[in-house]
Amino acid sequence: MTRLGYGTLDLVPARVTRPNRTAPPTTGIVHFGPGAFHRAHQAAYIDTLLDSEPDWGIAAVSLRSAATVAALTEQQGLYTLAVRDITPAYRIIGAHSRFLGPDDAEQTLALLADPAVRLVTTTVTEKGYCLAAGGTLDLTHPDIAHDLAAPAVPRSVIGWIVAGLAARHARGIAPFMVMPCDNLANNGAKVRAALIRFAEAQTPELAAWIATQVRVPGTMVDSITPAADDALYADVADVLGVEDRAAVQREAFTQWVIEDLGDPVCAALGRAGATLTDNVAGYEQAKLRILNGSHSTLAYAGLLRGHASVADAMGDATLADFIDTMIRDDIIPTLPPVAGLDLDGYRAAVLARFRNPAIVHRLEQIAADGSQKIPYRLGDTLAAQRAQGRLPRHVLAALGCWIAFLMQRARAGVPILDPAGTALADCAATGDAHAVLARLIAAKLGFSEALAHDSDATRSIARAAQAAFEGDWASAFPG
């Protein structure tokens, strides 16, 4: 079958929107992590911007997979975005100037040092930043240790960004802006601090330059983007009439909120459709705690209750009611008001998005990397409630569901998909939920050490975990 490319766009039916360009755009952005979320979310905004401002093309760098790079290079960077919603839509995205892989270090560094590159963005998932439990750069992380010893060919995104900044600093070229686009609480400040700490371990002068010259705005990113699968590729081939081996899919809803630093890069992204604000923290907390906290809860409780997708789990009235009540009673009370954001309306909108029958969002995908996700998705809400002397019964039960999930997987010998998977399995392999929770806290896996001194909370979490593990949902969920 003919492959998608600029030379075959004329074969694609007119109802499929496509770039109004005949060749890849010029590079203005370097992006690390060209996975499905980046290509479904940020790239769609930039694709729109390119219609009027053609020098914002994205050179995407994969630090891990050469396969994605090969498939997209064969298609000159073009791919289909399938919008799965009440009104399905198909759009060919042409936002990328090129794709580079793990073996293209020289070209990647040359791009980072190119004055035409004004922005470096990242979607490497929470674990990709090599942060320790407290959110600071983990200098003992194997990739960070490697990059400090061999800075010329980094493995980590932090190492790569500092290498690019070092090249610009050495040549007297102004730095690019750095913009993390991952679900990470306070992502801008954390990534900026990580860059400075990495540089300090090399050359203090570079660290000082980064500290005073490099801008790292915080962001909140949101669009439900299920992993691509063969059904998607077959559907896209049927609609386009040409083969696309890099298609992505998402819901119609998309939001990109960026801390407005008042400079040309932020302004350009505002023209692309991003929301510029001086209160990115408000948007970010609401999204991470309401949407992502509910997502993780649906993943663990849903899998334990035999469901496979978010929409399936939302069809389980007991679980759907639990989530709704958790948001209303436990999560929203911890959120400061955000101008222009009606939190109760946001709750209703998130639940409706979860029920989207056109989206098959697998709970296994969301359940991955729990040790990285749980602290900010549910842990921060628990800490905020405990600081007020309250016991958030639903959030405590949700944390219990994560533990019950770990116990079930560990005892069934099913691998736990998580950077700490082996350690999690060791903690969850034996004993009752109280013992498992104590081990997780001691190992700083998903829980802060402070929780060890909160017997009311730990008792409640463990009780819910044991009940969920035994399938006693009347006891696991608050009455």
Question: Which residues 395-434 are close enough to bind ligand CS2 by CB under 6 A?
Answer: none
Print the binding letters for residues 168-207 with ligand CS2: x by CB under 6 A, - otherwise: ---------------x------------------------
Binding of ligand CS2 at residue 235 (CB under 6 A)? Answer: no
| Spatial distance between the Cα atoms of 245 and 242, rounded to a whole number of angstroms | 10
Q: Minimal distance in Å, beta carbon 287 to ligand CS2?
A: 7
Contact stretch for ligand CS2 (CB under 6 A) within 220-228, 276-284, 336-344, 450-458? 220-228
Report the nearest approach of ligand CS2 to the CB of residue 446 (Å): 14
Does residue 275 interact with ligand CS2 by CB under 6 A? no
Minimum gap (Å) between residue 107 Cβ and ligand CS2 = 30
The C-alpha atoms of residue 3 and residue 75 are separated, in whole angstroms, by: 7
Residue 226 CB, shortest distance to ligand CS2, in Å, is: 8
365 forms part of the interface with ligand CS2 (CB under 6 A): yes
Q: What CA–CA distances, in Å, run from 23 to 95, 382, 448? A: 10, 51, 51
Position 250 contacts ligand CS2 (CB under 6 A): no
| Interface with ligand CS2, residue 222, by CB under 6 A | yes
Asked whether position 224 contacts ligand CS2 by CB under 6 A, the answer is yes
* Cα gap 257→283, rounded to integer Å: 7
3-state secondary structure the chain: CCECCHHHHHHCCCCCECCCCCCCCCEEEEEECCCHHHHHCHHHHHHHHHCCCCCCEEEEECCCCHHHHHHHHHCCCCEEEEECCCCCEEEEECCEEEEECCCCHHHHHHHHCCCCCCEEEECCCHHHHCECCCCCECCCCHHHHHHHHCCCCCCCHHHHHHHHHHHHHHHCCCCCEEEECCCCCCHHHHHHHHHHHHHHCCCHHHHHHHHHHCCCCCEEEECCCCCCCHHHHHHHHHHHCCECCCCEEECCCCEEEEECCCCHHHHHHHHCCCEEECCHHHHHHHHHHHHHHHHHHHHHHHHHCCCCEHHHHHCCHHHHHHHHHHHHHHHHHHCCCECCECHHHHHHHHHHHHCCCCCCCEHHHHHCCHHHHHHHHHHHHHHHHHHCCCCCHHHHHHHHHHHHHHHHHHHHCCCCCCCCHHHHHHHHCCCCHHHHHHHHHHCCCCCCHHHHHCHHHHHHHHHHHHHHHHCCHHHHCCC
Q: Which of 223, 249, 372, 466 binds ligand CS2 (CB under 6 A)?
A: 223
Residue 366 touching ligand CS2 (CB under 6 A):
yes
Q: Note whether 460 binds ligand CS2 by CB under 6 A.
A: no
Smaller CB separation from ligand CS2, 47 or 251: 251
**Could you tell me the smallest distance in angstroms from the CB atom of residue 253 to ligand CS2?**
9
Q: From 48-56, 140-148, 157-165, 216-224, give the range in contact with ligand CS2 by CB under 6 A.
A: 216-224
Instruction: Answer yes or no: are the C-beta atoms of 476 and 397 closer than 8 Å.
Output: yes
- Of the pair 208, 348, the CB lying nearest ligand CS2 is at 348
Q: Shortest Cβ distance from residue 232 to ligand CS2 (Å)?
A: 16
Least distance from ligand CS2 to the Cβ atom of residue 360, Å? 13
Is 76 one of the binding residues for ligand CS2 (CB under 6 A)? no
User: With respect to ligand CS2, which residue has the nearer C-beta, 112 or 247?
Assistant: 247
Binding flag, residue 347, ligand CS2 (CB under 6 A): no
Query: Which one of 217-225, 237-245, 332-340, 466-474 is the stretch in contact with ligand CS2 (CB under 6 A)?
Result: 217-225
Residue 222: CB minimum distance to ligand CS2, A: 4
The reply on whether position 97 binds ligand CS2 by CB under 6 A is: no
Query: What are the C-alpha distances in Å from 148 to residues 160, 203, 336?
Result: 11, 11, 40
Closer to ligand CS2 by Cβ: residue 109 or 310: 310
- Count CB atoms within 10 A of the CB of residue 362: 16
Q: Is position 295 an interface residue for ligand CS2 (rule: CB under 6 A)?
A: yes
Q: How far is the CB of 125 from ligand CS2 (least distance, A)?
A: 9
Q: Residue 114 or residue 369: which is nearer to ligand CS2 going by CB?
A: 369
* Contact region with ligand CS2 (CB under 6 A), list: 61-69, 222-230, 269-277, 333-341: 222-230
User: Smaller CB distance to ligand CS2: residue 260 or 418?
Assistant: 418
Interaction of residue 84 with ligand CS2, rule CB under 6 A: no
Cβ proximity to ligand CS2, 27 vs 183, nearer residue: 183
| Contact status, residue 394 vs residue 322, Cβ threshold 8 Å | yes
292 binds ligand CS2 (CB under 6 A): yes
Told to check if 156 binds ligand CS2 by CB under 6 A, we report no
To the nearest whole angstrom, how small is the minimum distance from the Cβ of residue 292 to ligand CS2? 5
Q: In angstroms, what is the C-alpha Rg of the chain?
A: 22
List of residues contacting ligand CS2 (CB under 6 A): 183, 222-224, 292, 295, 365-366, 373
